[in-house]
Chains A and B, each alone.
Chain A
Amino acid sequence: MVKFDANFLAETELVYTDGGILAEFSWSLVVLPFVAALFITFIGKYLPYKGAEIALGTIALIFIYSVSLMFIHITEGVASEFFVNVGSIGQFDIEFGWVVDGLSIMMYFVVGTVALLVFIYATNYMEGEIRYTFFFTSLTLFAGSMLVLVSSPTLIQILIGWELVGVCSYLLIGHYWEKKDNSSAAMKAFITNKIADIGLMIGIIILALNTGTLRISEILYQSTHDYEKLSKVAFAAAILLFIGAMGKSAQFPLHVWLPDAMAGPTPVSALMHAATMVTAGVYLLARMFPFYKSMAPEALDIVMLFGVITLLGAGLIAIVQDDLKKVLAYSTVSQLGYMVAAIGSGAYTAALFHLWTHAFFKALLFLGAGSVIHAVHSNSMLEMGGLRKVMPKTFTTFIIGTVALAGLPPFAGFFSKDEILASFNHEGETTFFFIAVLGAFITAFYMTRAVSLTFLGEYRGHGHPHESHNMMTTPLLTLAVFAIASGWVNIPGVYTGFTDWVTTRKTKIVEYHPESFDLFALSSGLIAGLLGIGLGYYLYQLQGSAETGDDKIKIQPVWTVLENKYYLDHFYFRFIIDPIKINISKAVDKFNTNVIDRFINGVGQIASLLGGVVYNNLDQNGIDRFLNMSSSGTDSFGGRVKLLQTGRTQQYLMLFLGGVVTISLLILFII
């Protein structure tokens, strides 16, 4: 373990301490889940709660640890890094380690809190499901992998955590792998992410080789101090890293895996596909933000463009979904678009702030949806309705989540979304600003639609739904508190603690901090949200669509395009996956057997033919005849001699003794 000597890095005036022993032992945050996963795998089955208690205990420890870190960070401000060398290759040091600074502590806290609540929720939600123990193994592994990712001080560790969370996502999406659709969805998620990872990998390679180090803090230092060194490759590296982020954070056009990922159990969707894993891309961009800002500002524009496209595109699709989880999934994509766009606009804090609030209220929404799905045994909103009465706790908390997402004060989403809009406004990106406002409107609209179809009106499904168990509603209530209050940590002009938290890093973050509310942005966002809610309420409640469950605003062909998700999946399958999987690979295989192998076999056959010619003419008739003649001579001679071999010992003895006598006589008398 080497403590990083950072005489040049401590630029931020907010750093007061290196975190002391608490930071030094943060590695246990990362190691603990893996150890726990091992225990759950091997002894979980034999425990009274099938391993869930180990998972819960672990995550509770992590939660407590992250709260302590948060506490020490808020009070003192921590930024430190620790490295462990795991091998040198050439002049490169491959290092793992852990970084304890504002950004990572914020992520620890998010991961710890949401994971703890989701774990509690899942113990009840997953009860009686197959592979209960394995579910908790994977979930614990995921928590560990996510912590590997967010605690990473080196790019290589980022890559490792990056792919590990991908694998956990694969395992959990495909939890019900008996059905082919689910395993296909898992595969789709993994492959899509893997494609994006090409970008990340090459981006890391470029950065590493041009800076000569894999340490993020050094790369950031060089990118802020040594313009010449990186300038040539900065743009490429920035874009490549962003491609990686696009995969994990489901940005257009690589977002297609996320809605399919809803095949996994709902707690998984809540934890991974809403709150934590999908924010990895945003986290990466935030981690590398000084690099983007100083070396590749043009790349930021592209980041912003993609973010905006995503936030609008995904929001539109969310309107037409009938599957409650898919609505939330597209909503997640859309909100991730906000975060990415915010990073693109240079609003580092705003993006992270939205990440922070979104993690809580989206997890809340997913868990609420899970509660509903648990009750009605269906994902489809057409089979819900009227659940307000039978599931009051779920309803209340879901409404809180919805309002938070729609961005009404004083709920969390309001503050974070407002900050993003304000930043757009400040940057002068008028078009993008209005698209984002439109996005806010759409968000409010589809959430109102979802709430109407699910909770209002009359029940359209089968059976008798009832309120979920306390183990499930308690996390809901807790998250509701967060959904309300988590926005209060960064109110411009009142309390901007969050800004200080996340900018407490070894590298200085240069960004715009609004001193007070941007009234124009605030009012636009608020109006858009209210309009959205109003329109939704009007269409689905007053018009009574919720009663029948069908949508009144089906405008062909826009609706068709949206329902088919802009034909992106069709495009991918038709033009990329199927050709590779079927045509090209078959062609390659045919090439292998019919061209290369045929050539080889042909060579073999020619050789054997040639051999035949040589053998028949030269060998058999030429050399061999001579040899045969000599051999036949030997043969006939042997035939005569063999008569001596009668097998009778007496004859042998006679011959032997006769020989002895003869030789003796010869020796005696002649020689």
Chain B
Amino acid sequence: MEILTNGVGLSAVVFFPLVSALVITLIPKGQEFLIKVFALVSSIITFVFSVLLLLEFDFSSADKLQLGNKISWIRSINANYEIGIDGISLPLLVLSTFITVLAIIYSIEHLPEPKSPKGFLALILVLETGMNGTFVALDLILFFVFFEIVLLPMYFMIGIWGDRTVRTVAGFKNQIETRLYASIKFFVFTLFGSAFMLLGFLGLYYRGNKTFSIPELIELGSAGAFTGTFATLVFAVLFLGFAVKVPMWPLHTWLPDAHTAAPTVGSVLLAAILLKLGSYGFVRIAIPILPEQAKAWAPAIAILSAIGIIYGSLACLAQTDLKRLIAFSSVGHMGFVMLGIASLTPIGINAAMIGMVAHGVITGLLFFLSGSMAHTYHTRDMGRLGGNMKLLPKTGALLGFTAMASLGLPGLAGFWGEFMALLGAYNPLDGLNVTVFRTSMVAGAVGTVLTAGYLLWMLQRVNLGEPSEEWMDKELHDADAYELAAWIPLVILTILIGVFPKLIFGATNDAVIAMLSKAFGG
């Protein structure tokens, strides 16, 4: 269909949620049902659009940017509205639209306090615009705009609907409400990173023939246009911007707080999509435009990833807060993704791609479950939980399954990201320090054991054993239809990707190989 291939369809995927959010603001506050149905329908329409794009996508040339368009936007600085997708962005785009649908399904019955579906759902849809936009943008300014759009809804979600408990924070004299602390930390952290990132973009703009177009810059970059101190600096600031978002150790500390404080849907979207914006940025922008610098920085990234894996897993073992544990597990899992990226080999980056999707699906589900449990029990303290399998059998069974998926059980989605990342790290790109990478690989492998350790320990504390007296006479509600409707698709996806990784590799492999051969030759 013409409308799908000429960029209109892609723009629709990006802007339809935004338009829907605007329409939602026009619906009177009292019409909650209408608001919910409208939000759900528009998210589903967006998803259907993305599926149509998926069908229209030419997988035989997945390495080429497709279905896009280029329209002049801000002529004075030669910034264009340039969009398009290839095998790298396609899975993430579809994942983003898909997870949003599930998030909205979940929100229909499970709105966080203070209940205000209008604002909440509108924010989710705005968030979706930001996420989808980042994945399709092929212009640095456009990318930056979408990258930043994501911040605001998330900030408000955490700040308004977040956890209201008051806690002490290291270094602060006064106690502070968790949600305030977390939201500000999240906002300032990411803004800090992206401010530098913008500097990097401007640097590329001035050195690179005054263009913001990513494909053009890639051509320039692979031709060796960016060299020397300049390029090192640019890569450093890009690294900072993306690494905060991933988040890489030691820039990760906003993540546990944000996840703990965020409402369920917020943490799901944060884990499932937002974190991917950072790693996607590496694959889409940092590495292809600045290949030589990427090569120079790769050992450092690998070491930081390895530290992140071990550190995140160890930190998990010390947690008593269920959501905080899962948040730290994200640090570990994204460490695998970054380890894969750092290897700069087709195997490693493919591993990172499937790792991103798998982490989105699995950790998204984990946050769904933990959020629902926190809602049911009114506590996230694992010391007080226990016997969840008895109290909430469905939730418990799913938690068990998801924990297994998260620890990288072969046959489920999480395995490929971990194993292939290690595979990639064993033999990094020619010229990289093999010792560093192999050490990181071993560290990553040890990390898988620790991952299994904390997840099983979590299961033992939360799921197994006899429930404590505290819950005996309480009426606890197991997962209802909305929750199951939001979760089961993720379970199915986890199994499908696990059994048949071609679902992801089929799209990414050609694109990754093409990207790397352009960047590093051969």
Contacts and interface: CB of A to CB of B under 8 A. Distances in A.
Interface in A140-183: 156, 159-164, 167, 170, 174, 177-180, 183
B253 to A, nearest CB: 5
Interface in A558-614: 580-581, 584-586, 588-589, 592-594, 596-598, 600-602, 604-605
B409 interface: yes
Contacts of B449: 191, 194-195, 197-198
A387 to B, nearest CB: 33
B315 A592 contact: yes
Contacts of B298: none
B423 A605 contact: no
B242 interface: no
A528 to B, nearest CB: 39
Interface stretch (B24-32, B94-102, B150-158, B345-353): B345-353
A598 B169 CA distance: 8
A89 B409 contact: no
The prevalent SS among residues of B at the interface is: helix
B172 A605 contact: yes
Contacts of B250: 596
Nearest to A214: B423
A198 B448 contact: yes
Interface residues of B, number: 63
A373 interface: no
B506 A600 contact: no
B410 A163 contact: yes
A198 B318 contact: no
Contact of A160 (B346, B410, B505): B410
Interface in B288-333: 311, 314-319
A190 interface: yes
Contacts of A178: 387, 464-466
Interface stretch (B119-127, B233-241, B414-422): B414-422
B502 interface: yes
B460 A184 contact: yes
Contact of B346 (A90, A170, A605): A90
A209 B427 contact: yes
B410 A164 contact: yes
B452 interface: yes
B419 A87 contact: no
A651 B346 CA distance: 80
A126 interface: no
B426 A90 contact: no
Nearest to A586: B318
Given A87-B501, A90-B345, A585-B318, A201 B456 contact: no
A187 B460 contact: yes
Contacts of A586: 318
B427 to A, nearest CB: 5
A87 B422 contact: no
> Chain A interface: which size bin?
35 or more
B223 interface: no
A170 B460 CA distance: 12
A231 interface: no
A208 interface: yes
A87 B500 contact: yes
B94 to A, nearest CB: 17
B476 interface: no
B460 A183 contact: yes
Contact of A191 (B453, B499, B506): B453
A156 B505 CA distance: 16
B185 interface: yes
B411 interface: yes
B456 A94 contact: no
A94 B497 CA distance: 13
Nearest to A161: B410
A605 B184 CA distance: 13
A85 interface: yes
A88 B347 CA distance: 9
13 contacts: A94-B501, A159-B419, A164-B409, A167-B404, A180-B464, A191-B456, A205-B426, A580-B450, A584-B317, A585-B315, A586-B318, A592-B253, A596-B250
Given A87-B504, A89-B346, A605-B171, 16 more contacts: A86-B499, A88-B505, A159-B410, A159-B419, A163-B410, A183-B464, A190-B452, A191-B452, A201-B445, A205-B426, A206-B426, A209-B427, A580-B317, A589-B314, A597-B169, A601-B170
